[in-house]
Every structure is written in C-alpha cells, then in structure tokens.
Amino acid sequence: GESVGLHLPTLSVQEGDNSIINCAYSNSASDYFIWYKQESGKGPQFIIDIRSNMDKRQGQRVTVLLNKTVKHLSLQIAATQPGDSAVYFCAENLENAGNMLTFGGGTRLMVKP
Amino acid sequence: DVKVTQSSRYLVKRTGEKVFLECVQDMDHENMFWYRQDPGLGLRLIYFSYDVKMKEKGDIPEGYSVSREKKERFSLILESASTNQTSMYLCASGLVALPETQYFGPGTRLLVL
C-alpha cells in the first residue's frame, strides 16, 4: 500500500553543520505534511508543517522543502546543536482521510560535539 | 501550552490481564488519538475519537478498545494483554479546526510478560 518512508534511519552530523533529513511519500493525494521531533523519553513534538500548495516553508533554524514531482519531503536544520539530537518523523495527511495522519518510520539524528 | 498527560510512564503486566491506559488533555480538544510506537515501524494509529462517546478504528485496532466518556479523557483498553502488545503507547489530542496538528503525551511503555 501507499506509505510514508524515510531514506536514512540514522544521520550523524558535527555540531554547527547543517542537517538534512529526507522523507519519501508515495500518495500524490496527500495535501499536508508535518515534521515531528521526538527526544528520548518524550512524545513527538510538532516542528513545522507544509501544505501541498507550497514548495518551501521556514521556521526558526528549520526549513521544510516539498518536491511534489518526485514526492519528496526534507527537513533542513541549520547550525545543528546537541539539543537537536532526536528521532525525526515525517507525517502526511490525505485530503480524504479526515483527522488521520500516516507516519514514517523515523530518522535518528545524532549530533557530535 | 497544550498539556497531554498519560497515567503511567511504565507498566508491567502479565499475559491475559486487562490493562487500562489513561490520557487526559487540558485544552478542550475535540480529537484524541491512541498510537503505538515500535522500532522501525514508526507510529501506528490504533483508535481515535472526534467527540465524546465517538470512536473510529485506526490501522491496528485488533486487541484494543477505547472509551471516551468525557471530552478531556480518552482511555485505551487491552481486554486481555498479550506479549505482542509490548510497546510504547502514545496519546495525542488536537482541534477539529486543525485536524492534522496533533499534540502528544509523553508515552507509556508497556511490557507484557
């Protein structure tokens, strides 16, 4: 079936570098995407979202890019800090799925000092 | 800030026991959700509720039931716990007006022996 997935299960970056976490989705009917951050021992926390009528959205140190042509979503974190170490999930909402989200498997980001 | 709390952080139960997981939110959200989280599988939706006494099955409802008697409280019930229900259980809540944005609790780690 159609699903949301991630290319890399683990990403290790040096403190201060930029991080890019990728997500592939296969359902072209998805119209809303969210990135969540989950720190150890905590529930997922909303980071940033983007609708399918946008290509890019920026937050504080984070940018989400959406490429609908290849069904690809990415989260960019600028000047990665130790506090960014966590598991990052992408999630999609289908236009006809009401309140339900479909989550990817997650990518673990490890920041080296 | 939205606060979603779960009754237990850790639970150990025996096979065949009835298990109750409680979730409470303090933001008057209409929607509430129960997920389970397993390594490599991400978050999978068990049940959700969009109003008091209303419930909808998610992707993996088998072996679970739910109860929503009050707007702020959503309970997940394992009628007869089995070892394959050992997992992290996450509750979330959200607004109908923003159905895609969900706020998560800290999770309950359940071990079934």
Query: Which residue is closest to B10 within chain A, CA to CA?
Result: A41
Verify whether the Cβ–Cβ distance A89 to B90 is below 8 Å: no
Quick check: B50 and A99 CB within 8 A?
yes
- Mean per-residue pLDDT over chain B, rounded: 92
E-assigned strand segments in A1-113: 4-5, 10-14, 19-25, 30-38, 45-51, 56-58, 62-67, 72-77, 86-94, 101-103, 107-112
Which residue among A46, A98, A106 sits closest to B99, beta carbon to beta carbon? A98
pLDDT band at B96 (very low <50, low <70, confident <90, very high): confident
Strand partners, A37: A45, A88
Cross-chain residue pair B43–A103, CB shorter than 8 Å: yes
Q: Does pLDDT of A97 surpass 80?
A: no
pLDDT, averaged across chain A: 87
Q: Do B40 and A105 touch (CB under 8 A)?
A: yes
Chain A nearest-CA distance from B77, in A, is: 20
Rounded Cα distance between B28 and A84, Å, is: 30
Mean pLDDT of B14-29: 95
A71: left (phi over 0), alpha (psi -120 to 50) or beta: left
Q: Residue A110: which residues within 8 A CB-CB, separation 6 or more? A: A10, A11, A12, A13, A85
Q: Is the pLDDT of residue A22 over 80?
A: yes
Whether residues B45 and A44 touch (CB distance < 8 A) is answered with no
Residues in chain B: 113
Beta carbons of A99 and B96 less than 8 Å apart: yes
Chain A neighbors of B102, CB-CB under 8 A? 46, 101
Which of B41, B90, B101 is closest, CB to CB, to A105? Answer: B41
Q: What is the mean pLDDT of residues A65-78?
A: 95
Which among A21, A46, A99 is the top mutation candidate for probing chain B, defined by the most B β-carbons within 10 Å of its own β-carbon?
A: A99
The DSSP secondary structure of A37-51, one letter per residue, reads: EE-TTS--EEEEEEE
Q: Is the pLDDT of residue A16 over 50?
A: yes
- pLDDT value at B104 more than 60: yes
Q: Which helix (H) or strand (E) holds B73?
A: strand B73-78
Question: Which residue in B has a C-alpha nearest to residue A94's C-alpha?
Answer: B100
Q: Which of A4-18, A66-80, B29-43, B67-81 has the lowest mean pLDDT?
A: A4-18
CA distance B56 to chain A (A): 10
State pLDDT tens for residues B65-84: 999 999 999 999 999 999 99
The tokens for A6 are 């991630």
